[in-house]
Structure 1
Amino acid sequence: MNTPRPLENAQLLSRFQALDSFLCAHQALWRPRPFTELQLPWETEHPALASWLRKRSLDEAEAAHNHPDQLAAPAPFPQLASSARALGEIGELPTIALPAASRRLNVDVPGRKWQQIEAFASHLNFVRPAQHWLDWCSGKGHLGRRLLQGDRQRLTCLEYDPALVEAGQQLSQHHGLHAEHLLQDVLADDAGRHLDNTHTTVALHACGDLHVRLMQLASRHGCRQLAIAPCCYNRTRASQYQPLSTAASASALELSIDDLGLPLSETVTAGARVRRQRDESMARRLGFDLLQRQLRNTDEYLPTPSLPVSWLHKPFADYCRELASLKGLQIDRQLDWNALQAAGWQRLAEVRNLELLRNLFRRPLELWLVLDRALYLQEQGYQVQLGVFCEQPLTPRNLMLLAERQ
């Protein structure tokens, strides 16, 4: 069995084109959302698969959530899983010997976040050594401080939150490091004034527009090196996805904000209490969804606002009455609230299991999005590598772009 390798050079375009064909061909399977549709269009074409998924329990769905490709489901599930697995396969970027960090640096950093920082830093395998690190959307600057080595290197941290800028500056001074923490909205028109051709810019899990803005400005101002682990592709001010590369612009794939959220549906960190609250909230929403369809006499999903956790402590009948009032609906009939609540839980089990088919396309879609970014940087004159920087249990957002001016 061959060990997968990172993608670079012509491999970036060839993999993008293969993913594009796969995603376009199977849009009818991954676009419809089981949470908002009582019956999915593809169920008519694949009744055996639909029936098999609908009969499974909520616990069975939860067990398969992170590895849907391993599910022994009826056709065409195994064939799609095999294709998705092959197209989403990508190797680890080369590592470097990272000097040991002072134990003081990880004080005030959550353990999982520090592990991500260590993994990210250990894969910054640039041809030329960095001179001036620029930590984009830096928070308190933990990543930048971990990267700073010796007196010859400089560090600039850009952050939007004044409290984080102040806290970061104090931490850098406390550790005796030469770092400049600047208050900057990176989406503002003047953000590019901080970038030049001496910079190695890094962004660990900068969301949506934030990391796209970095790529655009870094290219424009000639930054010598970039390292980006993208995140939250749906955090964008545009109403739908705006392609970056020539290849993505030529694609027939048009992605909505809901589509862009699909790669983010994989979770690995939620504790038992959080999962219970999540399930209770979703079951209640799905129960209310069945009710609102009756009240409105229409088989359409009705979006509802985010609700405080305290709403979960209300009796289900009160929950529905108050939510109906928020949406301007009148409950003018006697209802079997226990039966409706049970129906919400049953529907949650069906939704979670039906989502397993959609979840096969999480990694292919994410890789399509990150390859669009890689191809864009390649078009701007960068030598680009794309690979993973850590295992999936540490963070599902483990794809990393390394770009260096040729």
Structure 2
Amino acid sequence: MSVADHLRRVRDVTLPLRDILEQRVDEPHVPRWCESRGWATFLVGLSESELVDAEAHGLLRAMPERAPDSLKALAQDVLSVTSLPRVSGSTPLGTEALRNVRLRKRAQLSGLLAAVRRMADAAERVVDVGAGSGHFTRLSADLFQREALGLEQSAERVASAKRRSTAALASFVAVDALAELRLERGDLAIGLHACGALGDHLSRAVASARCGLALVSCCLQKIPQDVRLPLSGGIELRREHLGLANLTSQPRGVEASIEVTIGARQTRYALGQLLRARGVPLEPGAEMSGINRRQANAGLARVASLALALRALPPPTDHELAHHDSLAAKDYALIRRLSLPRSMLSRLVEVLVSLDRAAHLEEQGLGVRVAELFEPAVSPRNIGIFANPDAGLLPAA
């Protein structure tokens, strides 16, 4: 099946669900899309153990038998169109080259290096876009014995990458790749967790240069405009639709257990209610703006103090904290249940955007493969888009 055909299948499943994408569950009330489909009684009646199971493994895979037929059918459709092949293989990496690099990052680097090996051997230059600390740049220069250029917006990170690197063929430049990205036909462009708009920009640049690409997308919602326009046959998606792709169902997340993650979300909900009660206008999800999201693990008192201080408002009172903590414990339990069908669409959104980018590359005559690059435990953002003028050099899947 071509990328374009796969994209059409995903789009056909997504279009009838636009009302679900449009209405996120922010309050303990049954949304219109849930009522109209007859799902409310089932969702509200989920036991705590069923709810936790669905949050840990996803409603797609933890659907109770008594669920409405229409909900079960939707789950099967989503599973079918979001199923992707897996690229296997890893590259042994010396510990000396990866000092102070976390184990998950090492696994990502190892998997990506193995996946692009044949493309890199045929390329004249590796261009690592959004190079960060420069790990992939210097590793690829050593492994493939090719010129490797790391492009990074942060001058501080570029300076750090230069200090770390001993690879003669590796170089680093501080540049905003969204403004200045020049690729040549012989390049292999790399975007390991290229955020938001950078993924689209890199896809367009590769299509124009007709060079090689390995792109793993991340944080799709980080776009300058309110709406992402498709590059090919996708659909328009608003920023909040794109943010849905960040949701991941697994017993233990990248940073914490599911219990800690749900507790942090409940704290964020309580914070939003506290701020609104203080008269602060808030967009959905904006309650933690300016605050590191990990602070939510410390509880409401901590994040409320920070959020109010940022707005030059008096600190929270003990009564406020107790009141909103208590309300959140009751209301958020209902919100969690009613949110399950919408959360079920997170992978659908991510696959839709990935296939839209890949179809744009395919339209320019490039060989393209879209596949999972590593296990979700290594990173839930694991969809790789691989493109090359010679399709025979794409990673096997």
TM beyond 0.5: yes
The residue that corresponds to 2:53 in the other structure is 63
- What's the counterpart of residue 225 of structure 1? 212
**Judging changes above 3 Å, is the alpha-carbon distance between structure 1 residues 327 and 164 closer, same or farther for their aligned structure 2 residues?**
closer
Does the residue aligned with 1:92 lie in a helix, a strand or coil?
coil
1:196 maps to 2:181:
no
1:88 aligns with 82
Kindly indicate whether the alpha-carbon contact (under 8 Å) linking 1:241 and 1:257 is maintained by their aligned counterparts in 2.
Answer: yes
Q: Residues 265 and 296 of structure 2 are in contact (CA less than 8 Å); yes or no, is this contact kept in structure 1? A: no
Q: 1:355 aligns with which of 334, 339, 342?
A: 339
Equivalents in 1 of 2:128, 2:150: separation in Å? 5
Tell me the SS of whatever aligns to 1:344. helix
2:264 to 278, 297, 301: 278
Alpha-carbon distance change, 385 to 285 in structure 1, aligned in 2, over 3 angstroms: same
Map of 1:260 onto structure 2: 242
Distance 1:184 1:343, change over 3 A: same
Assess if the C-alpha contact under 8 Å between 1:311 and 1:319 holds in 2. no
The alignment status of 1:77 with 2:71, answered yes or no, reads: yes
Match of 2:222 in 1: 235
Look up the equivalent residue of 1:54 and give its one-letter code: V
Q: Secondary structure at the residue paired with 1:401?
A: strand
Deviation at 1:266, TM superposition (A): 1.5
Pairwise CA distance, 1:129: 2.7
Judged with a 3 Å threshold, the aligned counterparts in structure 2 of structure 1 residues 341 and 166 are, in CA distance, closer, same or farther, namely closer
Partner of 1:331: none
1:244 to 213, 226, 231: 231
SS in 2 for 1:157: strand
- What's the secondary structure of 1:69's corresponding residue? coil
Q: Does 1:42 align with 2:33?
A: yes
Q: CA deviation at 1:180?
A: 0.8
Q: Which residue of 1 aligns with 2:363?
A: 379
Q: Please give the per-residue CA displacement for 1:258-298, whole angstroms capped at 9, x wherever unaligned.
A: 00111112262132595376145224136438857xx89xx
Q: Which residue of 1 aligns with 2:102?
A: 110
Distance, in Å, in 2 between the alignment partners of 1:226 and 1:302 is 33
In structure 2, relative to structure 1, the CA distance for the partners of 1:373 and 1:180 (3 Å cut) is: same
Cα distance change of structure 1 residues 196 and 37 upon mapping to structure 2, 3 Å threshold: farther
The 2-side partners of 1:126 and 1:310 are apart by 44
Q: Is 1:398 matched with 2:379? A: no
In 1, Cα distance between equivalents of 2:152 and 2:82? 33
Contact 1:57-1:349 within 8 A present in 2 as well: no
Determine if contact 2:151/2:174 at 8 Å carries over to the other structure: yes
User: Could you give the per-residue CA deviations for residues 226-276 of structure 1, whole angstroms, max 9, x where no partner exists?
Assistant: 11111111111122011111x23xxxx431110011111226213259537
Q: Deviation at 1:301?
A: 7.3
- How far the C-alpha of 1:41 sits from its partner, in A, is 0.3
* Partners of 1:261 and 1:36 in 2: CA distance: 18
Q: Distance in 2 between matches of 1:58 and 1:117?
A: 39
Larger radius of gyration: 1
Distance (Å, rounded) in 2 between the aligned partners of 1:337 and 1:230: 38
**Retained in 2: the 8 A contact 1:286–1:344?**
no
2:127 counterpart residue number: 134
> What SS does structure 1 have at the residue aligned with 2:165?
helix
Deviation of residue 36 (structure 1)? Answer: 5.0
Q: Residues 208 and 105 of structure 1: is their aligned pair in 2 closer, same or farther, counting only changes over 3 Å?
A: same
Check the 8 A contact 2:268/2:288 in 1, yes or no. no
Shift of 1:178: 2.1
Cα distance between partner residues in 2 of 1:150 and 1:33: 46
Residues 363 and 52 of structure 1, relative CA distance in 2, 3 Å threshold: same
Q: Is the 8 A contact 1:53 1:354 kept in 2?
A: yes
Gaps of 5+ in 2: 314-318, 391-397
Residue 393 (structure 2) aligns with: none
Task: Give the secondary-structure state (helix, strand or coil) at the position aligned to 1:203.
Answer: strand
Per-residue CA deviation, residues 311-337 of structure 1 (Å, 9 max, x unaligned), is 966769x959x9699599xxxxxx997
* RMSD between aligned residues: 3.5
Cα separation, partners in 2 of 1:216 and 1:279, compared to 1, 3 Å? closer
Inter-partner Cα distance in structure 2 for 1:160 and 1:315: 35
Aligned position for 2:254: 269
Q: State the Cα deviation string for residues 91-146 of structure 1 (Å, max 9, x = none).
A: 113x4674x32221111211111111111222226466333211111012111222
Aligned residue pairs, count: 373
Match of 1:171 in 2: 164
Given the superposition, is the C-alpha separation of residues 219 and 311 from structure 1 closer, same or farther in structure 2, using an over 3 Å criterion?
A: closer
CA distance in structure 2 between the aligned counterparts of 1:311 and 1:402, rounded to whole angstroms: 37
Q: TM-score, normalization: structure 2? A: 0.82
Equivalent in the alignment of 1:6: none
Q: In the superposition, relative to structure 1, how do residues 80 and 146 fare at CA in structure 2: closer, same or farther (>3 Å)? A: same
One-letter amino acid of the counterpart of residue 155, structure 2: P
- Alpha carbons of structure 1 residues 303 and 383: separation in structure 2 relative to 1, 3 Å: closer
- More off after superposition, 80-89 vs 346-355: 346-355
Are the equivalent residues in 1 in contact too, given 2:108–2:374 (CA < 8 A)? Answer: yes
Contact in 2 for aligned 1:211/1:228 (Cα 8 Å): yes
Q: CA deviation at 1:90?
A: 1.0
Counting aligned pairs with the same residue, the percent is 20
Structure 1 alignment gaps of length 5 or more: 1-9, 329-334
Amino acid across the alignment from 1:79:
A
Matched residue, 2:274? 288
Distance 1:369 1:313, change over 3 A: closer
In the alignment, the residues of structure 2 paired with residue 259 and residue 163 of structure 1 have an alpha-carbon distance, to the nearest angstrom, of 33
What's the CA shift string for 1:318-371, capped at 9, x where partnerless? 959x9699599xxxxxx9975653222121111122221112211122111111
SS of residue in 1 equivalent to 2:227: coil
Partner of 2:394: none
